[in-house]
Structure 1
Amino acid sequence: MLKKIFKNIQEKSLKERFLLVLAILFFMFYLVLGLFIIFMKEFPLDMAMGYRIAFGILLIVYSIVRGVRIINDN
């Protein structure tokens, strides 16, 4: 399966590969941002811990949705 994915990526145009890399970077950005918001001790914004956890989980779920869309488009 992994071989099929790499073959599919190599068949894409340069623009499509760039957009795929950009989509993967944003997937990782939202995932890491959600984890930072939940686990960072000295959070710069004054938010209650319950709201921080909710916002962090929302960002993580959004990143998972983006990841699933990346996989389905390829």
Structure 2
Amino acid sequence: MLEKTNRNIQKKSLKERFLLVIGVLFFVVYFVLGLFVIFMDNFPLDMKREYRIGFGILLITYAFIRLARFIKDNKD
């Protein structure tokens, strides 16, 4: 399985590798941003705690939707 993944990555063009890195990077960015919104004590925007938790969960959900779409599009 690991050899198949290695060969699959090696066959990708430079553009495809770049898009792979960008896709993973944006998943991490949205996920971490969602965690920051939920757990940051001195949040710079004046929001009620319930709205911050909801917004954070929305960001984390969006991160996983992006990841699922990214994995679906990358299957070759």
Instruction: Provide the TM-score with structure 1 as the length reference.
Output: 0.90
Does 2:61 correspond to 1:61? yes
Aligned length, in residue pairs: 74
1:52 — aligned with what?
Answer: 52
- CA–CA distance in structure 2, aligned partners of residues 21 and 9 of structure 1: 11
Instruction: Provide the TM-score with structure 2 as the length reference.
Output: 0.88
Q: CA RMSD in A?
A: 1.2
Identity among equivalent positions (%) equals 65
2:42 — aligned with what?
Answer: 42
- CA–CA distance in structure 1, aligned partners of residues 34 and 2 of structure 2: 28
Q: 1:50 to 1:21 in 2, by over 3 A?
A: same
Which structure carries more relative contact order (alpha carbon 8 Å, separation 6+)?
1
Runs of 4+ in 1 over 3 A off after TM superposition: none
For structure 1, list consecutive stretches of 5 or more residues without a partner in the other structure. Answer: none
